[in-house]
C-alpha cells in the first residue's frame, strides 16, 4: 500500500518537471527541450530504479516483520498463560458470582450509610437470592448483628469485611487436615451423571502424582458408554495406571482387582470411579453399597474417603444432591466443579455450613491443572475482593 503512494508521488514529480520545462524561454526551446528530455528520462530512470530497490527491500522485511509480529504475540500469550496463577483463574472464574453477590452488596452499602434494620433486610434478600440458602443467610445476619454490637460498628462500609470473616471461619471450621503419609488411601468418587466425575479423577490423579504419590485408578463406571475409554485417556495424560474391564462388567469386580493391584504394588492412593447415579435409583445405590463393602473387606488397613462431585452451575440443586447422597454414603469431602463462568458459586457456603462436609477440590477450567486444593481464604477473597 505504501509503495502505491510512493509511485503516485513520483509520477506527479515528473509531470511537474514537464510543466516547468514548458515555461522556459522559447528562444532556447529546442535546445532546452532536448536537455530537459534527457534530465527527465534520467530522473525517471533514477526514480524507477529507486522504487524497484525500495520494493525489493520492502517485500522481505514486510514478510519478516509479519512473521516476527505473529511469533511475538504468540510468545506473549504463552507467557501470560504460564504466569496466570490459580488464584487469578479462580478470580476470573468467579467473576459472575462476584458480580451477583458482591456487586449487589456494594450497591446497598452505597445507598445506606448506617447499619440498621432496613439495611439488614436488603442484605438478607441479596444473600438468599445469591444461593446462600436460608439457613446460612440467617447465620450471617446473626453474626453481623453480634459483631456490630461487640465492635460498635455503624458504618456499612465495614460490612463486607464482617461477612468475609464469617465465611472464612465457617469454611475453615469444617476443613479436615490431611493425615501424614503413613497409610494407603482409597478415594471413591460419586455423584450424578454430567457433573464431571471422570475429568475430576484425571485431574486429581495428576495433582496427587505431582505431589509425589503413586496412584492407581479403578474404572468402575462400567455402565456409561465410553466412560472407560475417556478415563483411560485422562489417566494417560496424568501419567497414572488404570485397572479397567469391558463395558457392562461388574463394577465390584473391577474395584476388587484394583485393590489387589494397589496392595501388590504398595500404591499410595487408589481412586475409584463409579457410575453416575441418583439417590432414587435403588439398584445403583445398592451397587455403591456393594463397592463400599468390598473396599472395607479387602483394604481394611487403608484410609477410605468418599468424595461427592457437585456441579456448581446447578445452584440449589447441588445442595439437594449433597443432602441425599449424605443419607446413603458417609461423604467425607466435596469436589466443586465448573466454577468458571457461573454466577452460582455461592452454593459452596450452604453446602459446607448445613452438611458440615469440607470442600476438598475446586475446578475452574478444562486443563489438567485447573483443579486445585480448596483454600477457604482464597475462595472468599476471589469473590469479595
In sequence order, what are the residues at sequence separation of 6 or more whose Cβ sits closer than 8 angstroms to the Cβ of residue 227?
198, 219, 221, 273, 275
Q: What is the pLDDT of residue 91?
A: 87
Task: Please report the DSSP string for 98-129 in residue order.
Answer: HHHHHHHHHHHHHH-SB--HHHHHHHHHHHII
Sheet holding 333-337, edge to edge: 241-243, 215-219, 269-273, 185-190, 303-311, 333-337, 359-363, 371-373
Among the listed residues 310, 360, 381, 316, the one whose alpha carbon sits nearest the alpha carbon of residue 339? 310
Choose among 188, 194, 187, 363: nearest CA to 277.
194
The string over 169-202, giving b where at least 16 C-beta atoms fall within 10 Å of a residue's C-beta and e elsewhere, is: ebbeeeeeeeeeeeebbbbbbbbbeebbbbbbbb
For the entire predicted model, the pTM comes to 0.75
Q: Is 244 helix (H, G, I), strand (E, B) or coil?
A: coil
Q: Which three cell numbers stand for residue 359?
A: 470442600
Report the distance separating Cα 23 and Cα 35, nearest Å.
14
Per-residue pLDDT at 365: 86
pLDDT, tens only, 339-369: 887 888 899 999 999 999 999 999 988 899 9
Contact 327, 355 (CB under 8 A): no
Grid coordinates representing 275 are: 457410575
To 10 degrees, the CA torsion angle through 156, 158, 160, 161?
-160
Q: In the prediction, which pLDDT does 52 show? A: 44
Question: Which DSSP state fits 177?
Answer: P
pLDDT, residue 63, reads: 44
- The Cα 199–Cα 318 span in angstroms is 18
Residue 311 near residue 194 (C-beta atoms within 8 A): yes
Grouping H, G, I as helix, E, B as strand and the rest as coil, residue 270 is strand
pLDDT tens per residue across all 385 residues of the chain: 434 333 444 444 434 334 444 444 444 444 444 444 444 444 444 444 444 444 444 444 444 344 444 444 443 444 444 456 878 888 888 888 898 899 999 999 999 999 999 999 999 999 999 989 999 999 999 999 999 999 999 999 999 999 999 999 999 998 876 654 667 999 999 999 889 999 999 999 999 999 999 999 999 998 887 899 999 999 999 999 999 998 888 999 999 999 999 999 999 999 999 988 665 667 777 888 899 999 999 998 899 999 999 999 988 888 888 888 888 788 999 999 998 878 888 999 999 999 999 999 999 888 999 998 999 999 999 999 8
For residues 269 and 215, what is the distance between their CA atoms, to the nearest angstrom? 5
Secondary structure, 3-state, 226-238: CHHHHHHHHHHHH
Amino acid at each position: 500500500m505504501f509503495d502505491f503512494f510512493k509511485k503516485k508521488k513520483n509520477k506527479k514529480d515528473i509531470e511537474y518537471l514537464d510543466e516547468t520545462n514548458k515555461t522556459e524561454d522559447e528562444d532556447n526551446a529546442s535546445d532546452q527541450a532536448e536537455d530537459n528530455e534527457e534530465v527527465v528520462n534520467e530522473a525517471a530512470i533514477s526514480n524507477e530504479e529507486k522504487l524497484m530497490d525500495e520494493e525489493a527491500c520492502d517485500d522481505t522485511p514486510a514478510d519478516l516483520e509479519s512473521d516476527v509480529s505473529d511469533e511475538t504475540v504468540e510468545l506473549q500469550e504463552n507467557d501470560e498463560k504460564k504466569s496466570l496463577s490459580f488464584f487469578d483463574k479462580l478470580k476470573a472464574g468467579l467473576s459472575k458470582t462476584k458480580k451477583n453477590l458482591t456487586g449487589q452488596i456494594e450497591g446497598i452499602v452505597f445507598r445506606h450509610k448506617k447499619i440498621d434494620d432496613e439495611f439488614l433486610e436488603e442484605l438478607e434478600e441479596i444473600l438468599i437470592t445469591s444461593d446462600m440458602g436460608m439457613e446460612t443467610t440467617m447465620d450471617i445476619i446473626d453474626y453481623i448483628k453480634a459483631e456490630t454490637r461487640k465492635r460498635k460498628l455503624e458504618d456499612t462500609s465495614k460490612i463486607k469485611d464482617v461477612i468475609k470473616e464469617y465465611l472464612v471461619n465457617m469454611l475453615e471450621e469444617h476443613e479436615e487436615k490431611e493425615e501424614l503419609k503413613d497409610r494407603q488411601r482409597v478415594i471413591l468418587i460419586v455423584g450424578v451423571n454430567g457433573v464431571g466425575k471422570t475429568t475430576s479423577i484425571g485431574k486429581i490423579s495428576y495433582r496427587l502424582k505431582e505431589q509425589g504419590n503413586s496412584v492407581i485408578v479403578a474404572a468402575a463406571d462400567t455402565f456409561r458408554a465410553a466412560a472407560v475409554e475417556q478415563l483411560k485417556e485422562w489417566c494417560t495424560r496424568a501419567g497414572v495406571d488404570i485397572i479397567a474391564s469391558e463395558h457392562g462388567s461388574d463394577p465390584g469386580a473391577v474395584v476388587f482387582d484394583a485393590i489387589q493391584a494397589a496392595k501388590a504394588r504398595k500404591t499410595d492412593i487408589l481412586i475409584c470411579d463409579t457410575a453416575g447415579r441418583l439417590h432414587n435409583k435403588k439398584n445403583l445405590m445398592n451397587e455403591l453399597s456393594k463397592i463400599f463393602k468390598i473396599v472395607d473387606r479387602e483394604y481394611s488397613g487403608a484410609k477410605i474417603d468418599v468424595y461427592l462431585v457437585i456441579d456448581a452451575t446447578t445452584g440449589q440443586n447441588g445442595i439437594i444432591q449433597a443432602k441425599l447422597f449424605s443419607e446413603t454414603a458417609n461423604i467425607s469431602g466435596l469436589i466443586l466443579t465448573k466454577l468458571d463462568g457461573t454466577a452460582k458459586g455461592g452454593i459452596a457456603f450452604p453446602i459446607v455450613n448445613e452438611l458440615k462436609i469440607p470442600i476438598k477440590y475446586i475446578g475452574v477450567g478444562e486443563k489438567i491443572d485447573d483443579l486445585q486444593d480448596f483454600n477457604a481464604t482464597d475462595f472468599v477473597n476471589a469473590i469479595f475482593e
